[in-house]
Structure 1
Amino acid sequence: MAYCPKCGVGVEGDNRPCPLCGFPIPKIHEKKEAVGRVTKFPKAANPYPAYFRRVLNRIFIFITLLVFVAVCLMFYIDYELHEMFTWSRYSNLSVFAGWILLYFSFGYVRSFHKVIIGIGLNALFLLYGLDAFNGTLAWFFPLAFPIVVGTTVISVCYWSVIRALPVRGFNVIGSFFIAVVILTMWINFFIQSYRNETSILNWIIVTVLQLIPVLLIMIYVKYGMPERLKQKIARKFHL
């Protein structure tokens, strides 16, 4: 039996509209089963995610058209002024790299690992092009390539560790600080190597000295910090 959504009175299946208040009752698919007559209501669906996705798609298409027009315009202006492509190569390469970054930001790639790797490859493409336009790859291979690859690998490892942790909370913060220290020392090593100031022993010592305070803080948080303070910090930062 159907019920009027306005007054609540019971209405037979073929009785439209409501005989009491005259409200138009929507049709409901009914199916007979062995036990008796069971009403099958339509499944509830949230239209907001699909609507939000359509809005994002339209915005991204509009931005893509703007990028295409801007790239063509900069190439045209540069060629008209110099009869060759000079500054427009750098500008358009940067614009294209920014467009790829927007592609990942708009959620077209679901896997976080693929997003990190894609952003790393995009950075390599941008830096390689900027260095190659100068005629020689002076700083890409000794400096930019290892730094970007190291940052990508450390980011993927950090995300994998976070996903694998049975208990997160403060472990997320501790792992983050360790990853930041390792990344900082990785970048520092290649900068010193590029400037011919590398000392492996000094680099290891500095790395260990920076990791020790982080490890000590993590040990204190796990074994020495009062439980009430832990809960207060966890509620404060939603850990």
Structure 2
Amino acid sequence: MAYCPKCGIRVERDNRPCPLCSFPIPKVNEDGEEVVRVRKFPKTTNPYPSYMRRVLNRIFIFITLLVFVAVSLMAYIDYELNEMFTWSRYSNLSVLAGWGFIFFTFGYVKNYYKVLIGIGLDMLILLFGLDLFNGSLDWFIPLAFPIVTGTTVVAILYWSVVRALSVRGFNVIGFFFIAAVILIMWINFFIQNYQNKTDPLNWLIVTVLQLLPVLLIMLYVKYGMPERIKQKIARKFHL
């Protein structure tokens, strides 16, 4: 039997509240000990990522619907005016390629390497289609394909080196400038080759001359810049 803590009358086990004074009688187990209910603290989860994910999903759905309407409308207008698809091929392909770029940059693909490869393939499809619509592949194979492929490869290598070497701080910027110079020279090589103006020796000299200032700046930042200035810049740009 149990007793009411307020008025003291005897009550049945788990008879809550007290039939006399309506006082809430605590639950007791078989041994007569009061069962204490432990209130758990709420989980300390950060709601911001899930909130941003919902916002991005809504934006992406809106953009997808807008792209569908725009592509359908341009194709319809083009066909009604010309009884065939002419200018709408270029515009629709560009719009769809932009949609693909948004898809890869909105976080639906988690792997960084897959994102880079996906964006590279998206650009290749766009440029291939634009060149093909002209009736022949004049500039895609000698110019667009190596440039886009080289850009994708340099981006993948840059990310791999940064991760493998655990590059931090100013070194990230230094490696980025080196990758940018290499990419610029890669693009310059194929542009000159496309224009039949390639001079390998001249191209090599120009490459070295462009890399040299970057290397000198990196050496100065690494060994010559005062530590106090480094810390200020690092705090300013969160390096």
Per the shorter chain, which TM-score range? Answer: 0.7 to 0.9
Q: 1:213 Cα shift? A: 1.3
Could you tell me how far apart the structure 2 residues matched to 1:165 and 1:236 are? Answer: 24
Q: Secondary structure at the match of 1:229?
A: helix
Equivalent positions of 1:8-157 (< 5 A) are 39=38, 41=40, 43-44=42-43, 45-157=45-157
Within 2, Cα distance between the matches of 1:149 and 1:102? 20
Q: In structure 2, what is the equivalent of residue 3 of structure 1?
A: none
> What RMSD over aligned residues (CA atoms) do the two structures have, in Å?
2.2
Shift of 1:71: 0.8
Cα shift at 1:62: 2.0
Task: State the Cα deviation string for residues 65-111 of structure 1 (Å, max 9, x = none).
Answer: 12111111111110110000000000100010011011112210111
2: CA distance, partners of 1:52 / 1:104 = 16
- Distance in structure 2 (CA, Å) of the matches to 1:61 and 1:163: 33
5+ residue gaps, structure 1: 1-13, 17-35
Displacement over 4 Å in runs of 4+: none
| Match in the other structure for 2:4 | none
- 1 CA distance for matches of 2:212 and 2:113? 29
1:95-133 deviation per Cα after TM superposition (whole angstroms, max 9, x unaligned): 100110111122101112111111111000000000000
Q: Quick check: 1:191 aligned with 2:186? A: no
Give, in whole Å, the separation in 1 of the partners of 2:232 and 2:51.
38
Q: CA deviation at 1:42?
A: 5.6
> Distance in 2 between the 1:39 and 1:161 partners?
51
Residue 5 of structure 1 corresponds to none
* 1:233–1:54 distance in 2 versus 1, CA, 3 Å: closer
Distance in 1 (alpha carbons) for counterparts of 2:169 and 2:16: 58
Of stretches 150-159 and 212-221 in structure 1, the one that deviates more from structure 2 is 212-221
Which residue of 2 is the match for residue 20 of structure 1? none
Quote the Cα distance in structure 2 between the aligned partners of 1:121 and 1:46. 35
Q: Alignment length, in residue pairs?
A: 208
Distance 1:124 1:235, change over 3 A: same
Report the Cα offset of residue 215 of structure 1.
1.0
In terms of Rg, which structure is larger?
2
Letter in 1 for 2:67: V
SS at the partner of 2:136? Answer: coil
Superposed CA offset, 1:9-47 (max 9, x none)? xxxxx999xxxxxxxxxxxxxxxxxxx968361651444
TM-score (norm 2): 0.81
CA distance in 1, matches of 2:40, 2:165: 42
